[in-house]
Structure 1
Amino acid sequence: MSHSSLFTAVSLGLFAGVTASAALAETSPLEQQLKDLDSFQVIAHRGASGHAPESSMAALELAHEWGADYLELDIQMTSDGELVAFHDDTLERTSNGEGHINDYTLAELKDLDTGSWFNDAYPDQVDDAFVGAEILTLEEIFNRFGQDARYYLETKSPQLNPGVEAALVKRLEAFDMIDTGRVLIQSFAQESLLTIHELNDKIPLIQLVWYYPSEEDDERLVEWTGVTPGPQEITDEDFQAVAEYAVGMGTNFIYEGEEVIDAAFIQKAQENGLPVHIYTINETDEMQRLLDWGVSGLFTDYPDRLIKLTE
């Protein structure tokens, strides 16, 4: 080979390498997040809520330390417009307060003890450190974990939290959580998800569904809000309609001891561009069964169990 040919060959090789590197470099963090949804996702349900009070800093710290892919939280709005992580619409189950969470200011909610109930409910896991745990604001969570975590946030009970979508998008933008591929927004309310998209169409959305027997015919399954037909009747077109605005679906697997979806449902959703995340799976035998079905991710109160299975 002549010197000129050798130079040309080397130059072309270097150029190809540079071009390949440039192509790799062009994958944005948001695009990478969406690619990662093709892999199995460990979703820590309200943090590691099998080990510590749900939605508490202790539960989130454990899930993060163990390497969960997402910290999953329900976002509600206080009467003075602050966003907090709290599941129930009412305070009684997981705090020493009472009434609707939305009727209280952040300062009033901060006075509540949201940890002691866990010690009462799980006497074999008592930890004095849980006593007095505070309701967390979304900002406190972002300040603690920042860009080192991914967040799977639900617009909870949007009918009770008017304006929650705008407030949430504002916080996500302020903390630069969207372009950096740090957040998924989930909701049972399709309208809430579409509102999020109107505010910022780059935010990836997850449509939550809940299947259960129809009151008229218990042999026939229906979906809670009617966003899709029941699993026996769902078509490619139904999945595609969801895929027009969402990047995945979150569904129950069991209703009152009876399975409501199967491996074929998961496969059909995935073939139509919708990864399927199943809530909330805590027993390892069920985890393994769903892994064998090829599910895209699981919500769990015990991310440590799930991580051990998927290692």
Structure 2
Amino acid sequence: MHARAVAATTTALLGAAALLLPASAARAGAERPTIIAHRGASAYAPENTLAAVDEAAELGISWVENDVQRTKDGELVVLHDDNLKRTTDVEEVFPGRAPWKVKDFTAAEIAHLDAGSWFGPAYAGERVPTLEQFMDRVELHHQKLLLEIKNPDLYPGIEQQTLKVLGNEGWLDPDHLASRLIVQSFSVDSVRSVHELKPAVKTGFLGTPPVADLSWYANFTDQINPSHSSISTDYVASVHELEGPHGGPLEVFTWTVNDADTARLVGRYGVDGIITNNPDVVRDAFPEG
């Protein structure tokens, strides 16, 4: 057989084989997963601050993840914990107000706290941003936002309020909705609420539901976003077999992967995105694609 004929036959066989692979296996290795900077580039700057957004931009990372909580006077702020103790100097500034819950402080009080010194002296004076401030910085860098509604049981109605802020900031226009915004939560009720209130918004559920339940989740979420230690090639393939509310296959953004070996492993599983504190390390674990 001539070399050209051999090449043609080989190509045809490989193509046929690809058709027989699960969707996740066909995707694995085909292209670099989306890299999402967890709480900003939080290995390099204090988490959930504007500095962490800036650092992600400096590294060339398009997607930034954050966490949203609500203050005593109803302001949405970007903070992971439901208390201020770990990442601010609240114990020093307000020593008599333990346990220093976010919901027990006004936005003005929180705005005075130092949210950077715990990470390093170079970040002394960094503040806890409001959601508006955080979104403005993401927009400044032309980045994309994976927004997590944190502890929604503590903040009744936070889904509607978050959507209102997103709308006021111009993030519910066709451009952002198509490719620049995802709202996620560990709370099924919260994800469903976002979908019901604003069906055009892409949503993600944080967790690893049983395969038998995935078709139910597909009614209201576009992503299943599990811990990297809880998934396999078969699980990712099962997610990809289902169609989400916006007509495309359900996606998988896995968390929190901070080293190259684990990144390559979940990449072979066929995940669509990797949430990481070290976005440059994870990005560089894959060939450019």
TM-score, length basis structure 1: 0.73
Preserved CA contact (<8 Å) 1:43 1:70: yes
State the partner residue of 1:146: 139
Question: Are positions 1:78 and 2:76 aligned together?
Answer: no
Amino acid at match of 2:227: N
Aligned length: 238
State the partner residue of 2:107: 106
**1:250 Cα deviation after fit:** 0.7
Distance between the aligned counterparts of 1:142 and 1:65, measured in 2? 17
- Looking at secondary structure, tell me which structure has more strand per residue: 1
Preserved CA contact (<8 Å) 1:64 1:71: no
Listed as ranges, the gaps of 5+ residues in structure 1 are 1-37, 120-127, 211-227, 255-259
Report the 3-state secondary structure (helix = DSSP H, G, I; strand = E; otherwise coil) of the residue aligned with 2:137: helix
Amino acid at match of 1:180: D
Question: Are positions 1:89 and 2:82 aligned together?
Answer: yes
Preserved CA contact (<8 Å) 2:53 2:138: no
TM-score, length basis structure 2: 0.78
- Choose from 272, 278, 282 the match for 1:302: 278
State the partner residue of 2:240: 270
- Choose from 183, 188, 191 the match for 1:190: 188
Distance between the aligned counterparts of 2:139 and 2:53, measured in 1? 13
Listed as ranges, the gaps of 5+ residues in structure 2 are 1-30, 92-99, 243-248
**1:72 Cα deviation after fit:** 0.1
Question: Are positions 1:180 and 2:155 aligned together?
Answer: no
**1:143 Cα deviation after fit:** 2.1
Preserved CA contact (<8 Å) 1:95 1:112: yes
Amino acid at match of 2:152: P
Map of 1:92-171 to 2, 5 A cutoff? 92-98=85-91, 99-119=100-120, 128-146=121-139, 148-171=142-165
Structure 1 runs of 4+ with >6 Å offset: none
Return the index of the structure with the highest Cα Rg.
Answer: 1
State the partner residue of 1:249: 224
Amino acid at match of 1:138: L
Distance between the aligned counterparts of 1:302 and 1:262, measured in 2? 22
Structure 1 residues 288 and 39 mapped into 2: Cα distance closer, same or farther (>3 Å)? Answer: closer
Map of 1:287-298 to 2, 5 A cutoff? 287-298=263-274
Amino acid at match of 2:187: A
Q: More deviation in 75-84 or 39-48?
A: 39-48
Q: After superposition, what is the alpha-carbon deviation per residue over 1:251-289, rounded to whole angstroms, capped at 9, x for unaligned?
A: 0122xxxxx321110111112222111110001111111
Distance between the aligned counterparts of 1:150 and 1:64, measured in 2? 11
